Amino acid sequence: MERLLTPQEAADMLRVSVYTLLEHARKGCIPATKVGREWRFVESELASYLEANRARDPYAASGSGISLARDAVAVEREVGDRSGTAQDRFIKQMIAERRKAWDEYEVFKRTLIPVNVQKLLEESDRDRDERYERWLRGKREE
């Protein structure tokens, strides 16, 4: 049977903190098994994980958190724009997308009809009182 490592042993093997290791395990980025309430790590799987990730592009999307630099490089690959740094292009794209969303919001706001909440509440109270009066009259007639 393969050797199971505790979180502390696995963290020492990977040279990361136990907290970081457990976060990656919860997200499914690192191969791990939960036994009851405890996480366990198979030594050979961790070694395979290290080997597989050693040759990998550090800016490739790993799904383990947010990285502006990684996202910027991904945008550069998609867009192919070579003006400025990858981060600058990414930020410009994000600003353009937010500006577009804001403009759409402004158009939507103009379509809304102002509502007098106080008037609606008074009408609701009046309707409730009328229904109650009708109910009382029905009870008195019985």
Domain membership of residue 5 (yes or no) is yes
Biggest alpha carbon–alpha carbon distance for the chain: 88
Indicate the number of domains in the chain.
1
Report if residue 11 sits inside a domain: yes
Tokens of 130: 């009328």
| 129 CB neighbour count, 10 Å cutoff | 10
In a domain, 39, yes or no: yes
Checking if the pLDDT of 44 tops 80, the result is yes
**Spatial contact of 44 and 2, defined as CB atoms under 8 Å apart:** yes
Instruction: Give the SS3 label for residue 21.
Output: helix
Residue of 74 and 29 predicted with greater confidence: 29
The pTM assigned to this predicted structure is 0.40
Other residues' Cβ atoms within 10 Å of the Cβ of residue 138: 9
Angle, vertex CA 48, rays to CA 42 and CA 49, nearest 5: 85
Residue 138 maps to a domain: no
The confidence score (pLDDT) of residue 61 equals: 47
pLDDT in tens, 5-14: 999 999 998 8
Strand bridging mode 4-5 / 33-35: unpaired
In a domain, 102, yes or no: no
Q: pLDDT (tens digit, 9 = 90+) per residue, 60-117?
A: 544 555 555 556 556 556 655 555 677 777 888 888 899 999 999 999 988 888 888 8
- Domain span at residue 33 reads 1-56
Q: What are phi and psi of 35, to 5 degrees?
A: -110, 105
CATH number of domain containing 51: 1.10.10
